[in-house]
Structure 1
Amino acid sequence: MPLSFLTADRTFEAAAESALPYDDRERWRRPYRPGPWRVAAAALVLLFASFVLFAAVALALTDSVSSGGAVFAAALVVIAGALRLLRMGVWVNGRGLRQVGFLVTRTAPWARVVSVRTVQQPVRWLGLPRTVQGQALVLVRKERGAGEPAPLLTTHTLDFLGRPAAFDRAADVVEAWAAECGRG
């Protein structure tokens, strides 16, 4: 069973005439692959979940079923967290742009998007409070009081750390989606 959230469509790598080489524009898709740091972090979390599952079985067999069930539930929460970690990122379709975070998902219809552009600015390193100089793909909305443009992608996230070419390619594809779908 392929995990559609784990692998992005490979068509963005092929040299295509259109920036949007998709037949079905109503399906949400991530225009880039998850980075190796994100996949490694999720793999470590899943490894930890396997130990917790083993502990749940051991507790259920030796101690009590209720304590084993509680540890099993904790393992399921850890597994759900790992899957959510893999799903995080920017997703696009013909209707709008979706930024999936660990706990919060924000969707902006293309009608409310003024621009999507790449800028040089201080960005958060791996989502931590420490900032470094880097590039960010920012989303400017039409809403009043929107404040500062929200960064969608940065060069120092789990997906693009140490991969500037991948960031440039992903930013170009998201900008192309905004240009194409924002017209209508």
Structure 2
Amino acid sequence: MPLSFLTADGAFDAQEEDVPLAHHDLDRWRRPYRPGPWRVAGSAVLLLLAAFMLFATMIIAFAGTWAGAAVCLVAALSVVGTALRMLMTGVWVSRAGLRRVGVFSARSVPWDEITELRTVQQPVRWLGLPRTVQGQALIATCRSGAELPALLTDQNADFLSRGEAFRRAVDTVEAWAEDYRTVRAAA
């Protein structure tokens, strides 16, 4: 079973052209980068925990305590859902705009509303924890003048110790924005 949220649709294959809007399926939301090893490792640990919880559910069910088995099953399924949501966290792009997906929320902004995308040096959260370190962040400015929270940082779970991957992801998101502006100007 292919897990589409784990792939970047071949965004970094050497044979593929660099024009993001050249894809045949422009209306589908896609992540312009691959999930990082920290994000995948965290999700794998949660899935391992869920496997043990499901095994415990089976033992409790065979013991005849159905209420306890149901509680354990619900807890295991919530851990699986959290692991999958962690894998889906990040920035997604499509012809419709830019979507910033978090563990508990998602916010979409149409390309028309975004006036500027820029990379800045600023204190950023390390692996999403409260501790901040100096790093780079991709910031989007809206037409209203408000700045969105950092879309990508070089210290998050996708790009920690992967500076080149961060630069490629930033370039890809900026290319989507530029191609959208070009298509809108031609129309």
Task: Show CA shifts across 1:25-72 (max 9, x none).
Answer: 111000000001100000000000001101111111114112101100
SS of aligned partner of 1:122:
strand
Q: Structure 2 vs 1, CA of residues 15 and 115 (structure 1 numbering), >3 Å: closer, same or farther?
A: farther
Cα contact 1:140–1:150 (8 A) shared by 2: no
- Report the CA distance between 1:125 and its aligned residue: 0.6
**1:167 equivalent in alignment to 2:161:** no
**Mean Cα displacement is larger for which, 113-122 or 33-42?**
113-122
- Report the CA distance between 1:11 and its aligned residue: 3.4
Q: Partners in 2 of 1:82 and 1:54 — Cα distance?
A: 18
Give 2:164's aligned amino acid: A
The aligned residue for residue 116 of structure 2 is 115
The aligned residue for residue 13 of structure 1 is 13
> Counterparts of 1:50-65 in structure 2 under 5 Å?
50-65=51-66
Instruction: Report which of the two has the higher share of helix.
Output: 2
Q: Partners in 1 of 2:148 and 2:63 — Cα distance?
A: 55
Scaled by the length of structure 1, what TM-score is found?
A: 0.94
Unaligned 5+ runs, structure 2: none
Q: Partners in 1 of 2:138 and 2:27 — Cα distance?
A: 23
Task: Show CA shifts across 1:96-118 (max 9, x none).
Answer: 00000000100000010011111
Give 1:5's aligned amino acid: F
Unaligned 5+ runs, structure 1: none
Q: In angstroms, what is the RMSD of aligned CA positions?
A: 1.4
**1:127 equivalent in alignment to 2:128:** yes
SS of aligned partner of 2:134:
strand
Task: Show CA shifts across 1:120-167 (max 9, x none).
Answer: 1111111111111111111111125x2x44210000000000000000
Cα contact 2:11–2:32 (8 A) shared by 1: no
Cα contact 1:46–1:78 (8 A) shared by 2: yes
SS of aligned partner of 2:60:
helix
Cα contact 1:113–1:182 (8 A) shared by 2: no
SS of aligned partner of 1:40:
helix
- Report the CA distance between 1:13 and its aligned residue: 3.0
Cα contact 2:137–2:152 (8 A) shared by 1: yes
How many pairs does the alignment contain?
182
**Mean Cα displacement is larger for which, 53-62 or 153-162?**
53-62
Q: Partners in 2 of 1:15 and 1:117 — Cα distance?
A: 27
Cα contact 1:95–1:181 (8 A) shared by 2: no
**Mean Cα displacement is larger for which, 123-132 or 35-44?**
123-132
The aligned residue for residue 75 of structure 1 is 76
Scaled by the length of structure 2, what TM-score is found?
A: 0.92
Give 2:159's aligned amino acid: F
Q: Partners in 1 of 2:5 and 2:92 — Cα distance?
A: 10
Cα contact 1:121–1:135 (8 A) shared by 2: yes
